Amino acid sequence: MSLFRVMAIAGRIIRQFVRDRRTMALLFLAPLLVMTILQIVLTSSNGSVTLALVPPPGPIGANLTQVIKAPDSIKLKVITADQAEPGLKNGDYDGVLTFPDYFLARLQQGQSPTLRLRLEGSNPGAAKQLTSLVKVLVATIAVPQSGGQSASVTPTVTTSYLYGGPEYTTTDALAPLFVGLFSFFFVFLLTSVAFLRERSQGTIERLLVAPVTRTELVLGYVFGFTVFALAQSAVILLYVIFALRVHYAGNPFVIFLVTAALTIGGVNLGIFISAFARNELQIVQFIPLVIVPQVLLGGLFFPVKTLPVVLFQLANIMPITYANVALQGVMLKGFGVGDILGDLIFLVGFALLMVLLAAFSLRQEKV
Amino acid sequence: MSSSAHSDVAPIVVSDVVKRFDKVTALDHVSLSVLRGETFGLIGPNGSGKTTLIRMLLGLGRPTSGNISVLGRKMPSRQVASRIGYMTQSSALYNELSIRENLAFFGTLYGLRGRRLKERIAATLSLVELAARADSPIQTLSGGMRQRVSLGCALIHEPELIFLDEPTVGIDPELRLAFWEYFAQLNQRGVTLVVSTHHLDEAARCNRLGLLRFGRLLAADSPDALRARSGQQDFEQAFLYFAQQAETAEAGEPTPAAEKEA
Ligand SMILES: Nc1ncnc2c1ncn2[C@@H]1O[C@H](COP(=O)(O)OP(=O)(O)OP(=O)(O)O)[C@@H](O)[C@H]1O
Ligand SMILES: [Mg+2]
């Protein structure tokens, strides 16, 4: 293998696209436009929210879920104190409301007990809903004093966050999803069109006749397009952090890793898919098949765990689902490589599978 | 069976090659050999199999049956790739890139670097008379100019065996003449050329000619010998003569390609 040839191919792809002003503009400006619009449009996220309750000992603990009236959008669940933190980390619920052991005793003494609300925090919509629910809840618990005094005692609530804080907004939560989506899909589209052109203008014949191996060809394409995908991610991140003032806790290097794995998958998926298209229009026809399901099911619009079984299974084999989890982890929760290892392994596995498919479709080239 | 008297192995030996696409038989039991330092012409009507034969010779597809050996290797082979040049029938170039960038790209793929690459680019640009336009993007060039760049890309690495699929389509008469003079110079240096063409005046300039029709090689011989064998002065007439011969022989055994020393 010759690095010179790989770099010649990568350099050529970069040159071609830099010359293509409109595509460049699309690549860098379209994501910014979409994100800006979404920030304006979105106020809070929907979907169902789960609140876990750690009841005080004694009789009220048992029928706490009946006593508390929550709107339909909020599910209640009773757990024990030691389940609280692991469950939150695991994403089993969006918040935990803990009643102290002395809850009843304090109330009866006419003192105000303190409830602890711990929020998961990476879904700002859910956090907001839970905060206001707990506020209402606390007001209804108010117990009139036995002494006949008019004053009633209201429990107080202290709120803490596993990730982020009250300042996190929905756009904060969405920003990581966009970094993944845009780098994957633009790279997929650009590669499939670039490779299609290679076929339609006949240059693929020259490449196949030249002393270039399939590995060099695939690597050249991967390098060329990874440069664009990373530049695009950088622009999106900078815009989102400095212009949209999104909160951000991550390490850029880990984001780079995730984006790179995703890009390699996208480039090779593009090479593979382009074998089934005869012109640009037919590439566009692959968008509903390859792109739309991932946008809809990958966690951007609906939380993956709330999907119906069939769609949930589908979401579980889509790279974007894993990239979303990983990027949200890194950007919102400050996760390192170790925390997203599972997702990263899936993405690398997906990339390798796509490399194999692309290499296979290049082999078919020599009819 | 070739009765070549040359001592060294012929750079191209094709034995009994058949290539079938779904319904079409593009090559029908073709056998021939091309000798070192000659220009071998391929003529025949549209769809007669010229491009298919050239692509098989380049390893861009496997024959349905039969054998092909190029530069001593059974094709397809990557080992000989760097010693071969190929000019496709339609000018296959990167339209957004300049002439120089296209030449540099293909030169690099063929292992040219640094000063050597610069020298070769300069030499190729002056050969195809495009030095003045070196930095123009391909999409701003005329059709004939693109064809010239395409030829340049096939020659940049100084290959010893060159396949040219209709290289002079759309090229003005003056430059066409210059090209054929250059081809003769290449022959003198021992470079072997396989050229397909529809121009009969160009066919006359080849050392030997293969006449293809419906994928069958009607004859392969020097232009003079073909004229003498058919008793016709004009190539068009000679071609018709061999076509008729093939048709009358159709009922009998399929005639293997006639190979006679000039
Ligand atoms: N990839 C392919 N799939 C199916 N049929 C093909 C393919 N390539 C060539 N053919 C068929 O093989 C036959 C020979 O085609 P070829 O391109 O070799 O002709 P040619 O002699 O180069 O013609 P021209 O002078 O028009 O360039 C034609 O009938 C063509 O339709
Ligand atoms: Mg042809």
Digit-coded pLDDT (tens) for A282-301: 888 888 888 888 888 887 77
Q: Which residue of A has its CA nearest to B80?
A: A211
User: pTM for this structure?
Assistant: 0.77
If one residue of B20, B22, B27, B51 were mutated to test the ligand 1 pocket, choosing by the most ligand atoms within 8 A of its CB, it would be B51
Please give the pLDDT value at position B197: 93
Say yes or no: CB of residue B210 within 6 Å of ligand 1: no
Please give the pLDDT value at position B8: 62
B122 touches chain A (CB under 8 A): no
Find out whether the peptide bond into B76 is cis, omega within 30 degrees of 0. yes
Please give the pLDDT value at position A265: 92
pLDDT surpasses 60 at B259:
no
A205 touches chain B (CB under 8 A): yes
- Alpha-carbon distance A50 to nearest alpha carbon in chain B (angstroms): 55
Please give the pLDDT value at position B5: 39
* Mean pLDDT value of segment A99-110: 80
Written as one string, the DSSP assignment of B181-215 is HHHHHHHHTT-EEEEE-S-HHHHTTSSEEEEEETT
pLDDT band at A303, cuts 50/70/90? confident
Q: Are strands B208-213 and B216-221 parallel, antiparallel or unpaired?
A: antiparallel
Ligand 1 center from residue B25 Cα (angstroms): 9
- How many Å apart are CA B29 and CA B32, to the nearest integer? 10
Superfamily of domain A49-161: abc type-2 transporter like domain (3.40.1710.10)
Say yes or no: CB of residue B49 within 6 Å of ligand 1: yes
Q: Which residues in A lie closer than 8 A to residue B76 (C-beta atoms)?
A: 366
Query: What's chain B's average pLDDT?
Result: 88
A19 touches chain B (CB under 8 A): yes
| pLDDT tens string B77-128 | 778 899 999 999 888 999 999 999 999 999 999 999 999 999 999 999 999 9
Distances (CA, A) of B218 to A149, B67, B200, B225: 118, 19, 16, 14
Written as one string, the DSSP assignment of A226-286 is HHHHHHHHHHHHHIIIIIS-------HHHHHHHHHHHHHHHHHHHHHHHTT-SSHHHHHTT
pLDDT surpasses 80 at A71:
no
* Short-list B128, B196, B131, CA closest to B162: B196
Q: Which residues in A lie closer than 8 A to residue B62 (C-beta atoms)?
A: 366
Please give the pLDDT value at position A250: 80
pLDDT band at A47, cuts 50/70/90? low
What residue ranges in A5-73 does DSSP mark as E strands? 49-54
User: Which among B81, B92, B108 has CB closest to A203?
Assistant: B92
Least confident residue range of A120-134, A192-206, B53-67: A120-134
- Alpha-carbon distance B182 to nearest alpha carbon in chain A (angstroms): 22
Distances (CA, A) of B228 to A345, B4, B213, B233: 73, 20, 20, 8
Query: DSSP label at B234?
Result: S
Q: Do A211 and B90 touch (CB under 8 A)?
A: no
| pLDDT tens string A111-170 | 888 888 998 887 777 888 888 888 877 776 655 545 544 456 777 888 888 887 776 766
A364 touches chain B (CB under 8 A): no
Ligand 1 center from residue B48 Cα (angstroms): 7
Residues A126, A173 contacting (CB under 8 angstroms): no
Torsion over CA of B38, B42, B43 and B46, rounded to 10 degrees?
Answer: -160
Q: Which residues does residue A79 pair with via DSSP β-bridges, in sequence order?
A: none
In chain A, the percentage of residues whose pLDDT exceeds 70 is 90
Please give the pLDDT value at position B255: 47
B92 touches chain A (CB under 8 A): yes
Q: Whose CA is nearest to atom 9 of ligand 1?
A: B52
Q: What are phi and psi of A274, to 5 degrees?
A: -65, -20
Residue for token pair 């998958």: A265
pLDDT surpasses 50 at A179:
yes
Interface test with B, best of A197, A205, A212, A362 (most B CBs within 10 A): A205
* Mean pLDDT value of segment A44-58: 75
- How many Å apart are CA B34 and CA B194, to the nearest integer? 8
Say yes or no: CB of residue B24 within 6 Å of ligand 1: yes
B140 touches chain A (CB under 8 A): no
B6 touches chain A (CB under 8 A): no
Q: Which residues in A lie closer than 8 A to residue B101 (C-beta atoms)?
A: 12, 15
If one residue of A365, A366, A367 were mutated to test the ligand 1 pocket, choosing by the most ligand atoms within 8 A of its CB, it would be A367
A245 touches chain B (CB under 8 A): no
* Mean pLDDT value of segment A310-324: 88
Ligand 1 center from residue A202 Cα (angstroms): 15
B96 touches chain A (CB under 8 A): yes
Q: Which residue of A has its CA nearest to B113?
A: A4
Please give the pLDDT value at position B32: 94
Domain boundaries of chain B, sorted by first residue: 3-221
Provide the CA A343 distance to its chain's centre, in angstroms. 11
Distances (CA, A) of A18 to A226, A303, B121: 14, 37, 23
Measured from the Cβ of residue A301, the count of other Cβ atoms closer than 10 Å reads 13
Q: Do B90 and A202 touch (CB under 8 A)?
A: yes
| Domain B3-221, second-level architecture | 3-Layer(aba) Sandwich (3.40)
- How many Å apart are CA A303 and CA A321, to the nearest integer? 10
Please give the pLDDT value at position B155: 94
Ligand 2 center from residue B107 Cα (angstroms): 25
* Short-list B114, B141, B112, CA closest to B129: B141
Query: What's chain A's average pLDDT?
Result: 82
Give alpha helix (H) positions in A84-202.
84-90, 103-108, 124-141, 170-200
Q: Which residue of A has its CA nearest to B82?
A: A211
Please give the pLDDT value at position A141: 67
* Mean pLDDT value of segment A50-61: 80
How many CA atoms lie less than 13 Å away from B202 in the CB half-sphere? 27
Residues B221, B40 contacting (CB under 8 angstroms): no
Provide the CA A132 distance to its chain's centre, in angstroms. 25
Please give the pLDDT value at position B1: 39
- Closest ligand 1 atom to Cα of B47: 19
Please give the pLDDT value at position B70: 93
Residue B249 CB partners (closer than 8 Å, separation 6+): B255
pLDDT surpasses 60 at B3:
no
- Closest ligand 1 atom to Cα of B42: 21
Q: Is A51 helix (H, G, I), strand (E, B) or coil?
A: strand
Interface test with B, best of A22, A197, A203 (most B CBs within 10 A): A203
ipTM of the complex: 0.86
H helices, E strands: number in chain A: 16, 7
Q: What are phi and psi of B165, to 5 degrees?
A: -95, 100
- How many Å apart are CA B121 and CA B101, to the nearest integer? 9
